[in-house]
Structure 1
């Protein structure tokens, strides 16, 4: 199974590019697939993707969750705190490389959410190993929650990750959950999905389009 790489080709990101802001939790497989799709969209549409941090641990804090998810909720605080620390200390632009490094190790290499994964991902992204100490530092939680709510509040309460924001044609924000897709489409197929998503999400009064999920997350 190949490891996806972010690429930009002629006709992709440019001065007139539409900004697409993606909120992710590194441990969410569906956000990972959506992020790979958006990077493919960058290659075939004038779109620039910016990355922001949300947290499934924040989202489910205080909720009753199945026991099989409980451990993930506890371990999930570490990677997102590290992402927030990296953003604060090195700027939001580092999140693209750090998410690529974390997502590759979590979803393709099954490296878990612990310190070894974090240290390896920081090295892959060219960031200081000292940022790993943020994993256990609750001092980052206020900023983490602020980033989380900046992404999810415009969409509503019954959503998770991924969340995407794009500017609408009338200047108003278009914010939506998804798309949830498996596997990530490539080439012009990715562009057509982008066109369709914008068409429905940007329609006044449109709220939901859904069908039963019949396959697991495929990291192709």
Structure 2
């Protein structure tokens, strides 16, 4: 949802986004998790490995289009078998479909962990994904659903940058009352 919000922010604010790889699988590595969530985290290694491998070959410019192509298949189309989204998503964005083979290996895991750690080093270890960094300030989130559009997206951006840039400001939070709303 944050990626969709940032797409909107780029339309209404002078922001140029560079997309980097983070991973809930890396974040939750070694943690004691409920069974269903552990299963999801284990499955999620595949797509993020593919994105990491593609970014190594083609640069950061492929991260967001590939993330979106996979996300549409997983979140919008409801594909629960993540291995089934790799080849179609790679093809959709014009990348070599052989990158899909990386999903079942650990050959890019060191690069993936390093990318993830770069983001975490900006905000600390008490948060998750996503991390947004702007003008020397970084923050976790926002976690928002549905993603605001137009000027609402811009106002949320302005507010996030304002609070994150306030010395001594650490957290704003409330319980979630809805799941992701993709509209």
* TM-score interval (norm. to shorter): over 0.9
- The corresponding residue for 2:39 is 71
Compute the RMSD of aligned alpha carbons: 1.0
Equivalent position to 1:217, from 173, 180, 183: 180
Paired position in structure 2 for 1:42? 10
Kept in 1: contact 2:21–2:116 (CA 8 A): yes
Matches within 5 A, 1:154-165: 154-165=122-133
TM-score, L = length of structure 1: 0.81
Greater helix percent: which structure? 2
Shift of 1:115: 2.2
Determine the C-alpha separation between the residues in 2 that align with 1:197 and 1:113. Answer: 35
Distance in 2 separating the partners of 1:120 and 1:110:
14
Q: Is the CA contact (8 Å cut-off) linking 1:81 and 1:141 kept in structure 2?
A: yes
- Number of corresponding residues: 183
The runs of 5 or more residues in structure 1 that have no matched partner are 1-32, 168-172
> Normalising to structure 2: TM-score of the pair?
0.97
Gaps of 5+ in 2: none
Structure 1 residue 112: deviation in Å? 2.6
Superimposed CA distance per residue, residues 128-184 of structure 1 (whole angstroms, 9 cap, x where no aligned partner): 1100011012111100000000011221111111111111xxxxx211100111111
SS in 1 for 2:17: strand
Matched, 1:103 2:71: yes
Higher strand share: 1
